[in-house]
Amino acid sequence: MVLRVRKNQAPPTPEGCPLTECMSVLGGAWTPNIIWYLSAGPRRFSELRLDIPGVSAKVLTARLRSLEASGVISREVKPTSPPSVEYALTDLGEELIPAINAIVKVGHKLKMREAVVQA
Amino acid sequence: MVLRVRKNQAPPTPEGCPLTECMSVLGGAWTPNIIWYLSAGPRRFSELRLDIPGVSAKVLTARLRSLEASGVISREVKPTSPPSVEYALTDLGEELIPAINAIVKVGHKLKMREAVVQA
DNA sequence: TTATGTAGTTTCCGTTTGGTAACCGGAGTC
DNA sequence: GACTCCGGTTACCAAACGGAAACTACATAA
């Protein structure tokens, strides 16, 4: 019996897979968390550190720089003392919110399943 | 001037962040792609290898095992010759489709922005 | 005077990741 | 008899990732 490769209905992800594209933006550690917390409004560096226990200053800086380069967040230095820096989602960043919400939703289902498996 | 930590409206992600939970499932390289291709119907190992150019057998195996352990996909060995193994999304796995779709959607926007930046 | 807060940067280092290549058995094909 | 296909497994390796800690500068507060 010969096994043939079946044609499936999945759109053939043409030039440069948008899935891979988007995952490269929100792929790093803590990245989705950062977007999640910014979705509630602008936030300062140290506030984000408190929001996300476990993230190091180094990684948080790296993520914020990378997200800024992707055009997902904006960075605004306020002339306060000590100086404070406010990060916020751009219009493009706001587009990520539904994706993040969908992921959170599945996260809940996963946790529920885990609870069942435990029992 | 004293800077105070502002209370934001973001739900405080209580016990064991569902976001992190879900990202640990679809975090590895090629994982979203695998789910994407399975969303169109069951698929064999070698078919997935053809679907996703660039994925190595080692990583594909690792992802499929891990997704199976998470309860996201099912694995069925068919008594053909040579033996074939069919992977499919479970009910839980189907729940991931909206999340994947949302990510793909943003991926398109990101690519559009890129084109604009180029110009 | 000393300590604190802000927003990082830098260095070092261990772990993880993912790619490459070789190899496996069994059945069918040429 | 040799070769291919299928679905993997294993060993090896370089690169990337991310954590910890120390350090910066400036200004205010105790």
We report the CATH number of the domain holding residue A99 as: 1.10.10.10
Kindly indicate the confidence band of residue A1, based on its pLDDT and cuts at 50, 70 and 90. low
CA dihedral of residues B104, B72, B65, A7 (deg, nearest 10):
-60
**Span A50-107, pLDDT tens digits:** 999 999 999 999 999 999 999 999 999 998 878 899 999 999 999 999 999 999 999 9
**Span A108-117, pLDDT tens digits:** 999 898 788 7
Residue A5 counted as domain residue: no
**Containing structural domain, residue A101:** 18-118
Residue A84 counted as domain residue: yes
Please report the residues numbered 45 through 84 in chain A whose beta carbons come closer than 8 angstroms to any beta carbon of chain B: 46-47, 50-51, 70-71, 80-82, 84
**Closest nt by CA–C1' to B84:** D6
Domain count, chain A: 1
Give the pLDDT score at B14: 42
Give the pLDDT score at B8: 63
Give the pLDDT score at B13: 47
Residue B98 counted as domain residue: yes
A112 at B interface, C-beta within 8 A: no
Judged against a pLDDT cut of 70, whether residue B93 lies above it is answered with: yes
**Span A14-62, pLDDT tens digits:** 447 899 999 999 999 999 999 999 999 999 999 999 999 999 999 999 9
Residue A37 counted as domain residue: yes
Spell out the residues 6+ positions from residue B49 whose beta carbon is closer than 8 angstroms to its own: B55, B57, B60
CB-based contact B41 A9, cutoff 8 Å: yes
Residue B7 counted as domain residue: no
Residue B104 counted as domain residue: yes
Half-sphere exposure for A1 (CA within 13 Å, toward CB): 8
Give the pLDDT score at B28: 94
**Closest nt by CA–C1' to A63:** D18
- Do the Cβ atoms of A94 and A38 come closer than 8 Å? no
Residue entry with tokens 């490269």: A24
**Span B105-114, pLDDT tens digits:** 999 999 898 8
Give the pLDDT score at A81: 74
Distance between CA A102 and CA B101 in Å, rounded?
Answer: 9
